[in-house]
Amino acid sequence: MSGAVLLRGGTVVRRDGERAADVRVEGGVITDVAAPGTRLEADVVLDAAGCMVSSGFVDLHAHLREPGKEEAETIETGSRAGALGGYTALVAMPNTDPAQDSVAVVDFVREQGKRAGLAEVVPSGCITVGRRGEALAPLAELAGAGVRIFTDDGNGVQDAMLMRRALEYARGLGVTLAQHCEVAELTRGAVMNECSCCTDLGLPGWPAIAEELMVFRDVELVRLTGATMHFLHLSTARSVELVRAAKRDGLPVTAEVTPHHLSLTDDLLASYDPVYKVNPPLRSREDIAALVAGVRDGTIDAVATDHAPHPRRDKELALDAAPPGMLGLETSLGVVAPRLDLEPRELVRVMSWNPARIARIDDRHGRDVAPGEPANLAVFDLSAAWQVDPTRLASRSTNTPFAGVPLAGRVRHTLLAGTPTVRDGSATR
């Protein structure tokens, strides 16, 4: 257990408002939130001047690649990247090799996270065996091993009957299913958004309807079963509208958007650079406007990175052969803070409070900065302007689309269970 740490001179962001306060933590919990300058003893004093102090960020969507694809990322390097982005918890996506469809693999992922000690790694479980969409994974057994969120991400569950059954089980187990919305028949061979320019570029299009049909189907399956559903990485205006209508009907659905879908447009594919290839694809300006509006009115609950590291040699293949995905953990705050331009409380809501609730880890993450609460904290400067240098990322991969893009908002310190994992912008381990 670490000694006492004092975060001095920051602005604490809580559900009941913001206020200047010093925060002392010890033994993994917050011991004091006191008026600035109050005499508080600590072993380590961290400067939080000019910074917001909030609960640590929670990423609902991180591909950490271990086991099986350690060339791209490991749980250690991915959680170091997460800590640098202000994250204290990462939901690990299940498209590992082997996939996270057994207790042995989810236990391994969780344990590797503990060993790295840089963020709480929360394994998701597969909905279907091997993410193949054919037979249900052992949901009850996985739930018994602590899994609370299930997804086949990377693939959508195509079979409506299987999805219905999964939702019925999920409802009984009190767990959430998270859907990657993509009707596979409509996206075969697709490389970029289906738009006016994709034909000119000679690139097969990924139509918006491929996402929206599955959002529509699953909203209706939620209506039928009463189970809780989270929609992953929504990318189109109509998807936002479908979720808005579902929420209006009182259905238990939540949704996330990625930093890249909030900020990058499909015309970037004219460069034929695979760094911009992602699934779902980058969309239009109109879609971005609808996604931002969805975050602002609460239709979209969370920003989630879809951090998807790939080795350089894979991302150097031709566009049609390169795998989809881009890095996100280290840049998310700097990308979304200026684009969403939210009050700090609203920003923390989508980066921490809501995702913690959706992942069902809100007993320890996404809580208020208050005495007695777990000291999982992010300290970040919203006015810090910076640019990412891909060669200096903590991630084992370099496939960031944000190189050279002006970012605003940077994490200064991150505390996990009271211990700094990031101090003055550098990882401590």
Number of residues that bind ligand DOR (CB under 6 A): 12
Among 179, 279, 376, 397, binds ligand DOR (CB under 6 A): 279
Specify the stretch interacting with ligand DOR by CB under 6 A; choose among 21-29, 198-206, 291-299, 317-325: 317-325
Farthest CA pair distance, the chain: 66
323 near ligand DOR (CB under 6 A): yes
Distance in angstroms (rounded) separating the CA atoms of residues 8 and 10: 6
Q: Which residue is nearest to ligand DOR (CB)?
A: 325
Catalytic residue among 152, 153, 306, 381: 306
Q: How far is CA 161 from CA 30, 136, 166, 322, in A?
A: 47, 11, 9, 32
**CA nearest to 258, candidates 231, 219, 285:** 231
In the window 56-85, what residues touch ligand DOR (CB under 6 A)?
63
Among 11, 79, 88, 95, binds ligand DOR (CB under 6 A): 95
Looking at the Cβ atoms of 179 and 299, the one nearer to ligand DOR is 179
Distance in angstroms (rounded) separating the CA atoms of residues 233 and 60: 10
180 near ligand DOR (CB under 6 A): yes
Closest contact distance (angstroms) between CB of 323 and ligand DOR is: 6
Alpha-helical runs (H) found in 273-352: 285-296, 312-315, 332-340, 344-348
Pairing of strands 176-179, 192-193: unpaired
Looking at the Cβ atoms of 73 and 76, the one nearer to ligand DOR is 73
Closest contact distance (angstroms) between CB of 156 and ligand DOR is: 9
278 near ligand DOR (CB under 6 A): yes
Distance in angstroms (rounded) separating the CA atoms of residues 334 and 382: 8
Distance in angstroms (rounded) separating the CA atoms of residues 56 and 375: 9
Q: Which residues, 6+ apart, have CB-to-CB distance to 155 below 8 Å?
A: 95, 131, 133, 180, 182, 184
Closest contact distance (angstroms) between CB of 279 and ligand DOR is: 4
Is 306 annotated in the active site? yes
Closest contact distance (angstroms) between CB of 269 and ligand DOR is: 13
| Residues contributing to the site for ligand DOR (CB under 6 A) | 63, 95, 153-154, 180, 278-279, 306, 308, 323-325
Catalytic annotation, residues: 306
